Structure 1
Amino acid sequence: MPLSRESVWSLVHDERAALVADLADLAPEQWAAPSLCGRWTVEEVVAHLTAAASVGPLRWIRSMVGARFDADRHNARRLAEHRGATPAQTLERFRAVVPSTTAPSGHTPAWLGEVVVHAGDVRRPLGIPHAPSVQAATEVARFFASRDFTVAGRTAVAGLRLEAVDGPFATGEGPAVRGDTVALVMAMAGRGAFCDDLEGPGVATLRGRA
């Protein structure tokens, strides 16, 4: 059963706080390290998360119009706005929005997915061994598998059977893909590196789509 909006926001806040704690003692070179999110560094991903927690629907629309509906341009502008003069300032700005319930839309599981996926984008390259709670990962997995919204999750899993080995998430019919819920979430979000954590005859197909 889907969680209440209040419960999902509580999970968002927990995952943001956990990420702040994990990043508190990073060395300068770690902040400049590439993340799993395209061309963004670790620091840029954190600034993006601050932006996502600071831009409501009306401001998001104005920003997208100003960017001529170019999502990359919109994201770059908002990232630059919320990045600090130093990595420490960038982290403090993120710390300040940990309790925020501001988001571009009312799709609360998508914004839980935002922090779960981007936290994985920075933790994996840095070797930080944290994983979100199974409850949080399950909520995101169900949302991603049901639609193409912030990520093309439904397209990624079409014709496959996904089964979590650490929780209740399961969906679809076809060649099986099995693993921890967070690895399934990250693979649905297009992070092919996490396919290394999965097994089953459908993994090759999912990796190709990532």
Structure 2
Amino acid sequence: MRRLDGKEVVPHLTSAASIGRWAWIRSMVGARFDSDVHNARRLAEYRGATPAETLQRFRAVVDRQTAASGHTAAWLGEVVVHAHDIRRPLGIEHTFPVESLMAVATFFAARDFAVASATVSKGLRLDATDGPFTAGDGPLVSGPTLALVMVMAGRRAYLDDLTGPGATTITQRLDV
């Protein structure tokens, strides 16, 4: 799956909050289950003519509870990961409730859904240093729950926040 660039994150989240399960399924079938084609179509649909219009469209859906899947943790993962795709490079600090991060981390460690998170963490023991999250067996990878979530989502920028003998394995997996 192609990574979104900075200008695509807001329309991507607008789309995710605007498209229900059946519309999402129709879109994926129409894209022959190619998530890049699906995402490109949704980005074109939800991107405004100007950045201000794109932001206005996002603000119009920010309180919606629509999601493409019934997995609340998957939708929450979209919000957490993409929020930090924006926040970290800009130096904007934010602390999510540990319960929210734990739900996303648990979901990501258990399955590949929108990202290959379970594949990244397979055969490793993940242990949060700031909360109760723990998953898997094998060489230890520890760090803040947010860093574990972001690395499972393929975000290399968070690798330096992780320690333990399994951190090298995760780094190698993200290099592929």
Q: TM-score, normalised by structure 2?
A: 0.92
2:149 to 158, 161, 185: 185
Q: 8 Å contact 1:161–1:170 — kept in the other structure?
A: yes
1:58-96 C-alpha deviation (Å, 9 max, x unpaired):
111221222222210110110111111111221121111
Instruction: Give yes or no for the alignment of 1:68 onto 2:32.
Output: yes
Q: Does 1:198 align with 2:159?
A: no
Aligned length: 174
Query: Matches of 1:148 and 1:115 in 2, distance apart?
Result: 17
- Higher RCO, 1 vs 2 (CA within 8 Å, ≥6 residues apart): 1
CA contact (8 A) 1:83 1:90 kept: yes
Match of 1:96 in 2: 60
Which residue of structure 1 aligns with residue 46 of structure 2? Answer: 82
Q: Which amino acid aligns with 2:115?
A: V
Please tell me whether the aligned partners of residues 165 and 179 of structure 1 are also in contact (alpha carbons under 8 angstroms): yes
Question: Which of the residues 58, 64, 72 maps onto 1:108?
Answer: 72
TM-score (normalised: structure 1): 0.78
Matches within 5 A, 1:161-172: 161-172=125-136
Quote the sequence identity (%): 65
CA distance in structure 2 between the partners assigned to 1:71 and 1:173 by the alignment: 31
Could you tell me which residue of structure 2 aligns to residue 8 of structure 1? none
Q: CA deviation at 1:39?
A: 5.2
What is the distance in 2 between the residues matched to 1:111 and 1:92? Answer: 21
Instruction: Give how far 1:127 is off.
Output: 2.1
Distance in 2 between the 1:147 and 1:66 partners?
24
User: Over aligned residue pairs, what C-alpha RMSD do you find?
Assistant: 1.5
Find the aligned partners of 1:41 and 1:88 in 2 and give their Cα distance.
17
Q: Which runs of 5+ in 1 are unaligned?
A: 1-36
Q: Which ranges in structure 2 are unaligned for 5 or more consecutive residues?
A: none
Which residue identity is paired with 2:44?
A: A
Pick the aligned partner of 2:138 from 174, 184, 200.
Answer: 174
